[in-house]
Structure 1
């Protein structure tokens, strides 16, 4: 079985989400005696990554971070090879998948900020081509709209620390009186905390910050990060088990489970 991460290789080694996903998948596969290959494939490198996957080199593929208009995702969907997407696949691509309830996670974050009296809210969103990032943003923004709040500024990042810094700097220029920030990953939220501290803003007294993931970094920031927990290990293990089932049974029933997310309240909001 192959895990294909639709990101550049450096993200595989710098983003803790991928390490957690691969580790949980490997534990499941080890119990079944199935070897695991791991590879990355951006849109630019898909022509290199595709041949070994579709030429019989693997019996199944677990896709992680499948994005819109990614050539490899389109090819695998039409290949007949057992494929399971960890995360909702791009619109128009019919692939079995396991998903997190990212939209509801965004809703929970927005409601928490609104109930805390925050009214000058900004967002550091994830890549707009990634369905999970869009769902987090949509759930957050729709909740604010229902509360009568429109025109909320959105900075877009790529889940990296650098993009969190740039996103927070952009928001501060756009809205100097910002009193709350929702970041679509804990890494970007941690970067926002550091940026706010450098500008003399106190968290949460001046600015509340909420992240997404409940990664280990969320408990090590100062103050500790309020975040939306997604059950990463359970998510990866379930996707792996369902892929194994489809590899061994041609008539495996379609099953696209969605796992719940949960707001974890700590000190930052």
Structure 2
């Protein structure tokens, strides 16, 4: 599932292509005909993201809400738009380009009250200027739930997924099984600051890189990582390989139907990366 930095990049692309101009909206697949008809010809006022949710606000206060989920994808390009192929749920076209949406978990029009309800149930987003990390800390500091689960809970922190979860816990030297209420405040402040920095880097470069300069392939004289997800990481999808810091074998297990990755040495209780 795309993580929050991807949604913020999509918001930026929509702003560049469509903001301040009327859009043409169609549903080649037919599953969003009514919604596309209501958007067609409207002017896009703003495009923003909150966590993994893309929100496109039009000049009549309608908001198009898109959540890609596991299978959702965008195809973006300059004009002229090619003939649609496959199950395109929504196509937006304008003078600067086109955006084809396929397979989203959600594609719906919301009113202002519904948008507020959506945002109220999401945690703070490290990529938003209005984010309040204190709100997340209040939840975390009272919780018996492990940090590995809390960081994947979008009502606690909006945006991080499996990669950022694994990597920020490693970089902070935090045992993924540590209950939230046992996390020290300075540890939370470090995790939040790291999310802000790493996710902003992800928006800028379009991939997730988390290794520090001393652990890059060039610095360590090792081959670059080859993985469909791209990016240089410490533990994510590196099970069975040596930790880049201490050489301990990276561990993995299933947690809440997702694969968790960690280093038992660098992330033992009391460890610090």
Please indicate, yes or no, whether the TM-score normalized by the shorter chain is above 0.5: no
Using the size of structure 1 for normalisation, the TM-score is 0.28
Which of the pair is proportionally richer in helix? 1
Greater relative CO, 1 or 2 (CA 8 Å, sep 6+): 1
Using the size of structure 2 for normalisation, the TM-score is 0.28
